[in-house]
Amino acid sequence: MHIKSVEFKQIYNDMLTQFPPEELKPYERFCEILGKNYKAYEFWEAEPVGYAVIFEDKNYILVDYLAVYKKFHSKGYGGKILDILAEQSGRVCFFELEKPDETKINTLRRIKFYEAHGAKRVDIDYFYPAYDKPLSMDLYYMGSFCPQKNEVLSFVKKFFQVIHSDSPTVDSAFNLISKG
């Protein structure tokens, strides 16, 4: 499998079909932040099988969105993409995941998927800077080690400043994380 940079509009059109509207940024917002260590990649075999939208720095990656195109669902491509992101990049990958909730099948399925591929929960109180108020979530990681809390906080601050800078709760979410 190989990685290609592609026109983001293609990926966004698929995101509209695979992610709930409340989990997506407006297209214009993506265009504002793409390129600021925030990138979209498509993963190919003979044709495109999936994509990831990530924030990256020298040592860490935040996987903001990850999806396999519908015709390739349940064929192991999601795990292959995770392997490329986590193992081949040599960096620790982070994922923001909802708290487990027995009433939300997709949430449980998503958590099981990441855990089955080696993701572990970071031992911090994590808050997502949703527009109305910070939302309690979990931060997971994949990699050969979990960074120290101060390193995690430094990386969270970096991606908050790019990805979530338009949220009015970004400062309060970060304050809740750093105090926890």
Q: Residue 35 belongs to a domain with what CATH number?
A: 3.40.630.30
Q: What is the CA 47 to chain-centroid distance, rounded? A: 23
What pLDDT is recorded for position 33? 94
Q: Could you tell me the end-to-end alpha-carbon distance of the chain, in angstroms, rounded to an integer? A: 40
Q: How many structural domains compose the chain?
A: 1
What pLDDT is recorded for position 136? 94
Nearest Cα to 152, choosing from 123, 172, 118, 129?
A: 123
Residues in the chain: 180
The per-residue pLDDT string of the chain (180 residues; one tens digit each, 9 = 90 and over) reads 778 777 799 899 999 999 878 788 899 999 999 988 999 999 999 899 999 999 999 889 999 999 999 999 999 999 999 988 887 778 899 999 999 988 888 889 989 999 999 999 999 999 999 888 999 999 999 987 878 999 999 999 999 999 999 999 999 999 999 986
Domain with 154 in it: 2-179
Taking only the tens place, the pLDDT of each residue in 85-118 is 887 778 899 999 999 988 888 889 989 999 999 9
